[in-house]
Structure 1
């Protein structure tokens, strides 16, 4: 007889692990399958930016990852296509950031989900999928045995080459740009390093931190950790053959010389590592045509791949996980309204498209040529204005496309809840630790109307300092309803739309 479970997640990267934690907080214990024998040490992302930072704060994960007891703070500035993006005149700055390497994110999330009772099966590879109308049967292979699992839902968090996506026939349209990217931890002579995180290179001059555009391509210099600089290059043109040997520091140095026009001295990295050393042969920009096929869902890179410029990957994937997690749990716990699971694709697919648009725009602005140089001049002028900086900040942060909540009566509806404080000193984020819907009400009248949903919605009677009189927040942190004064009937509609109908006994409580 096959083993049975409610949710199987394929992939124990940041997105799969965050999804597992979301489900566990709602009382669902998923099985996570990971073909690697242990947590990955591959250095992919070097930080998390945008609304995902605040989303992690909702679960108390920001303090675990950052080591700070203080709430996250907006960034004073960022970069867009290698150009400065100052936020001095930006109101309601949506850009948050946390410098942290992906292996540490993974280790922290592993500890978190295991403390919640989630089972991660290391070295267990998903090898077959049989999808039916009432569930999915998956075949699994490990070094010890092969077996089958019956599950209600399967989630592919298994990366850009997703076995799950391919197996269920979800198309992955897009294109591949002919570029070769190389990046590695290296050592550089101390005398070349400047006090502001850049380089002063003889024969060329100053090379600032971040992405730098040249006629020969792009040079990336970033010292995220003292003594461990990362150097990367992007060269446009012919791809390397598939059987090209692995990247070496010597090859990277030759590439940097072609890009800059002068030699950038570099050697192997110092310290024990792990160290980055990888080559990207062709940049894919693709998105799944649907995030759901029956009882199978995709999150993260399994659903979308794009340039890493601007750091959008984890911001996008982690919010996929938080959007899907509470909806799967609602379905399994029996109170999901009709169409709730379909709203995952409806809400997240446009955000994925938006991220691809901005990452392609940044890549295009880094290309060579006088026409691009002219565009960069105009873009730099726009980025220096408060309106221009605000618009691009919201695009990068993933906050420029609010969700359709079916109730547009308040400016907060459809957006992630702002950083708000209650009159008793608690932050809104502290009310969201359990991954449940939250209603905050200063008058008590709205709380009374919501009593029928008290089994699934946490109700807090408190005043929001400099905020609305009441607001209803989904578990993923997005505002489903808000009111500054008397209720126009929208609260009941929002409760039913997102958190289902109530039975007769509970309905009497809300009458």
Structure 2
């Protein structure tokens, strides 16, 4: 019997499997698809964007360089100058409702607790690239993957979960559904899935245009919808505000796609051929809890929304990073009370915020007689330094803050990448998925206490280039600051917080 079964070998399932295996858990992934490769994962249809927050997650596990190279990106283009003292201004920015904003308008001084890091920027990638990097790491860590095994039944009791997949029976202490927006695990385990109905039908396709010059590159908002043409040959996206009424069980014909495109763009553009095509909607739904007994959900299995702004993949990676260490501690028996439940209490609000961000974009884009005036107002507000900075904070993945019950302004946020005098960075200390305590005091005040959690917390001390006025910092395995001392470290305070997150050291 395995410690954990994960349904779904997509990026979220693979990232979670690696987190668990890194902590010594035995992990089995059940994947419904027979093959790992697919035209839907490769470019152009598999095009996705990693936010700076997701790049940071790969960096902290020693995978950033491999991820950048697999994406065709120079790793130097996603990080700060290694000798920099101050963090650079962001170079990249997402859009809002198809409105492209200028990163030069971001007020970098309004972005708190940033230090130069090898992971300062997001970058474009593909599902194929993400899958290849994570699959290679999973194989190295001993994760087992069974393909061609769709989950068809789930049972659970006080001790274990039973899973029927591909006609075979499997058992584990825990099951995590990472099996996408139409999650079988979510349905079979009885999770409540609530939200709002769609306003549009979206399409993504790889086509051959008779004359691609008829369609400008980029996001193009019109009086009837939106279309997107990227530099990738034949890559087309569309949003048709039909109330989501298109019958998605019907085949997507060339005539249908051409009719929709002509209506939206207002030209007689011709599609010579449709190679691949799929439809989606902006239905925004979320489970009410991310855990039912011994079954948990992550990624699109827990929340779905329109792909506007490219938040889905990144939201799922955030789920995996948050859940992995908590579930591992539970498996190994040293998790303090309530640790696993904090997965829902921390990640559910983040997911709800992304759903609302998606809904706001759809409302801004919805055609109607008042739509041009609303769009212009939003465009004007978003193009101000405050507006542009707000969009960056909402979409970069670096500035979420969990409510951990502390008034210290850094607690609950992603930790800055502190750099010691010998060049060692916080990110270097997190490759094994442990917590980290950074002790900046001259007398190593926390060294003795930190040793009690050996194997769970890694201790590092010394002077750093910029300590942000802090005396010590305790960082969870997911990179979130659990405790920070602004003066000489208080050992009793440190021990209290360490017990809260890492359990009794005697367990």
- State the TM-score bracket (shorter-chain normalisation): 0.7 to 0.9
Alpha-carbon shift at residue 86 of structure 1 (Å)? 2.5
Give a deviation string over 1:447-478, Cα, whole Å, max 9, x none.
33322112311111232321233211111111
Of 147, 158, 181, which aligns to 1:122? 147
- Structure 2: gaps of 5 or more residues: 80-89, 115-119
Distance 2:314 2:227 in 1: 24
Other-structure match for 1:80: 96
Alignment root-mean-square deviation, CA: 2.2
The runs of 5 or more residues in structure 1 that have no matched partner are 193-200, 270-274, 505-511
1:267 shift after superposition: 3.6
Matching residue of 2:163: 138
CA distance in 1 between counterparts of 2:419 and 2:270 reads: 51
- What's 1:236 paired with? 241
Structure-to-structure mapping, 1:72-221, within 5 angstroms:
72-73=78-79, 74-88=90-104, 89-91=106-108, 92=111, 96-141=121-166, 146-188=167-209, 192=213, 201=214, 207-209=216-218, 211-221=219-229
Distance 2:63 2:234 in 1: 27
Paired residues for 1:4-83 under 5 Å: 4-41=1-38, 42=40, 43-67=45-69, 68-70=74-76, 72-73=78-79, 74-83=90-99
Matches within 5 A, 1:272-351: 276-280=276-280, 282-351=281-350
Tell me if 1:503 matches 2:506.
Answer: yes
Does the C-alpha gap of structure 1 residues 45 and 289 become closer, same or farther in structure 2, counting only changes over 3 Å? farther
Deviation, 1:14, is 0.5
Q: Please give the secondary structure, in 2, of the residue aligned with 1:480.
A: strand
Q: CA distance change for structure 1 residues 484 and 190 in 2, over 3 Å: closer, same or farther?
A: farther
Which string of whole-angstrom CA distances, capped at 9 and with x for unpartnered residues, describes residues 353-404 of structure 1?
0000001111111111242322222222222222222222222234554112
CA drift of 1:114 comes to 0.7
CA distance in 2, matches of 1:431, 1:268: 51
SS in 2 for 1:310: coil
- Aligned-partner Cα distance in 2 for 1:51–1:242: 33
User: What pairs with 1:451-490 in structure 2 (closer than 5 Å)?
Assistant: 451-467=451-467, 468-488=470-490, 489-490=492-493
> What is the total number of aligned residue pairs between the two structures?
473
- Name the stretch that deviates more: 60-69 or 20-29: 60-69
Q: Secondary structure of 1:120's partner?
A: strand
- In structure 2, what is the Cα distance between the partners aligned to 1:296 and 1:22? 17
Q: Does the 8 A contact of 2:94 with 2:395 survive in 1?
A: no
Distance across 1 between alignment mates of 2:320 and 2:47: 17
Q: TM-score, normalised by structure 2?
A: 0.88
- Pick closer, same or farther for the CA change 1:372–1:96 going to 2, 3 Å: farther
Contact 1:54–1:72 under 8 Å retained in 2: no
- The 1-side partners of 2:380 and 2:338 are apart by 45
Structure-2 residue corresponding to 1:430: 428
- Give the secondary-structure state (helix, strand or coil) at the position aligned to 2:283: strand
Contact 1:286/1:305 (8 A) holds in 2? yes
Note the C-alpha offset of 1:69. Answer: 4.3
Aligned mates of 1:262, 1:69 — CA distance in 2: 41
CA distance in 2, matches of 1:229, 1:425: 45
Q: Deviations over 1:314-354 (max 9, x none)?
A: 11001101111100111112221110000000000000000
Number of the residue aligned with 1:388:
387
Say if 1:407 and 1:490, in contact at 8 Å, map to a contact too.
no
- 1:260 matched residue in structure 2: 265
Does the 8 A contact of 1:6 with 1:151 survive in 2?
yes
Quote the Cα distance in structure 2 between the aligned partners of 1:337 and 1:166: 30
Query: Which whole-Å deviations, capped at 9, do the CAs of 1:115-170 have from their partners, x for residues lacking one?
Result: 111000111222211111222112232xxxx3322211000001111111111111
Q: CA deviation at 1:413?
A: 1.0
Shift of 1:190: 7.6
Residue 173 of structure 1 contacts residue 287 of structure 1 at CA under 8 Å; is this kept in 2?
yes
Query: How far did residue 24 of structure 1 move?
Result: 0.7
